[in-house]
Structures are given as C-alpha cells and as structure tokens.
Amino acid sequence: MRSIRYHDIAASLRERIAVGHFLAGRLLPSEAELSSEFAVSRVTVRRALEVLREEGIVSARQGFGWFVASDPVMQTLGRLGTIEEQMSASGMTPTRNIIEFAFEKASRQISKTLDCDQVLRVKRINMADDQPFAVVTVWCPFELAKHLSRHDVETSSFYNLLKVSLGGATQTIGADAATEVEAKLLEIPVGSPVLHCDRITKDDDGRAVLVSHHVFPAHRTNFVVELPSVPVSISPTGLRLVD
C-alpha cells in the first residue's frame, strides 16, 4: 500500500507544480506539513519527494527544505553591474519593492566609508518573476542623492541615477543563516542559508559613492569569477578566513 501511496503524493505535487501552484525556486510545504495533509508518515512523504527529485522537479538544501527546482541566477563578478541585469540575462523579470526610504544621519561606519554625515538610505526587496530574490540596503551621500525620490529608486538603479562616472567596486561575499527579518522578507525559513554581499562602489577619482548590503537565498544565486590563465603561479589575494 505504501508504494502506491507515495506515488499518489508525488503525482499530486507534480500536478500542483505544473499548474503553477508552487513556482520555480519557491519552498514547498515542510515534510511535517505534507505528512499531516496526506495523513501519512514523513518517510512516505520523503519517498514521494525523492521521486520528484529524481525527475529533476524538486531539489533540497540542508537547513533549507524542499523547493521547486530552478536554475540559479549566475552573477558574474568580473564587471560592475546590477542585480536586474543579471536577472534579465537569466530570463527573469526584475522589479523592486521599496520598503524603507529615508534621509538620515549616517552610522559611524557608513560615515567613515562615504566621508559624509548625512545619507539617503534605501532598503528594498528585489523581485524575480514576482518572487523575493534579494534584500538590498543602499547608502548614498546626501549631496549625491538629495534630488532623488522614492519613485526614482523604485524604477531605476542608483548606477543610472547618480550624476557621477563610476570607476569600479569592491565586493565582499560571505555565507550566513537568515535572520527572522531576512527570512520573512525572502519568504524562507529562519536559519536558512543565505549569501551576504557587501559592495563599495567608487567614482573615477576613487571616492566611495555607494555602500550596499545584499542578502540572497543561497539556493537562488551563484557567483561566478573568470580566472585568466597566467604564466606564473598566483595566490588568491582576495581570500580571507574568518572565525
């Protein structure tokens, strides 16, 4: 009876995914929730999910759960670009939801980095095909941002809005677990794996003009670096170990 039952569960979930009830990249109900819904053991539910994984329909990550399989967005680190460009290149439709927009006094660290006392701070959720893809917070010096409105930053990137010539950026990436706030905004379980990305963008004169903090669900994005061939051995100068 069990062998028939798990195939029934797999068929039901397969149909829901096919009609868009569960979208690509989105979490499925937990094994416990599915066990309760179908009135079967978690072993039976897991077997059904394994069937779907073998078909390439779903996938799973330790500490994250089961989700509808999708190709992660490949973000290239070899050039300066925006999240929207990366998502568009992956065939997704990007949008922004602004959740905080404020001109305020800069924190000590932001003030030191941007060499200013007042900043515009914008916090947003970047959406991919109407699904949360990243939580992004951006700080910009008041003098560069004083002409900007909430509508401006919702419809265009800072890179297009700033009246300066950009010279490059330094980006630091690390792994972490989703906080309660991040999990709610990204619609993932608390403690799920996330990637934190901190970027300092500079103008042609080397002055920092933007500081941004990005949080990505780990299952939805990969960072790619092109390593050119060189005639001599080189060490990874950008690698830093943390406790």
CATH code of residue 45: 1.10.10.10
Final residue before a domain boundary, out of 68, 89, 109: 68
Give pLDDT, residue 137. Answer: 97
Give pLDDT, residue 199. Answer: 93
CA proximity to 127, closest of 115, 135, 137: 135
List, run by run, the mean pLDDT of 10-residue segments along the chain (243 residues): 72 86 79 90 90 85 75 69 74 88 96 97 91 93 96 93 90 90 89 90 95 90 74 49 46
- Examine the domain organization and report whether 160 and 141 are in the same domain: yes
Looking at the domain assignment, is residue 21 inside a domain?
yes
Looking at the domain assignment, is residue 144 inside a domain?
yes
Give pLDDT, residue 235. Answer: 46
Looking at the domain assignment, is residue 239 inside a domain?
no
Give pLDDT, residue 241. Answer: 43
Give the contacts of 100 (CB within 8 A, at least 6 positions apart): 121, 122, 123, 124, 137
- Examine the domain organization and report whether 84 and 204 are in the same domain: yes
- Examine the domain organization and report whether 28 and 94 are in the same domain: no
pLDDT in tens, 76-117: 766 677 777 777 777 778 889 999 999 999 999 999 999 999
Helices 2-18 and 31-38 cross at an angle (nearest 10°) of: 110
Residue 242, phi then psi, degrees to nearest 5: -125, 155
- Examine the domain organization and report whether 12 and 90 are in the same domain: no
- Examine the domain organization and report whether 121 and 220 are in the same domain: yes
Give pLDDT, residue 2. Answer: 44
* Number of compact structural domains in the chain: 2
Give pLDDT, residue 230. Answer: 61
CATH code of the domain containing 211: 3.40.1410.10
Looking at the domain assignment, is residue 38 inside a domain?
yes
**Domain boundaries, position 22:** 2-68
Looking at the domain assignment, is residue 183 inside a domain?
yes
**Cα–chain-centroid distance for residue 77?**
15
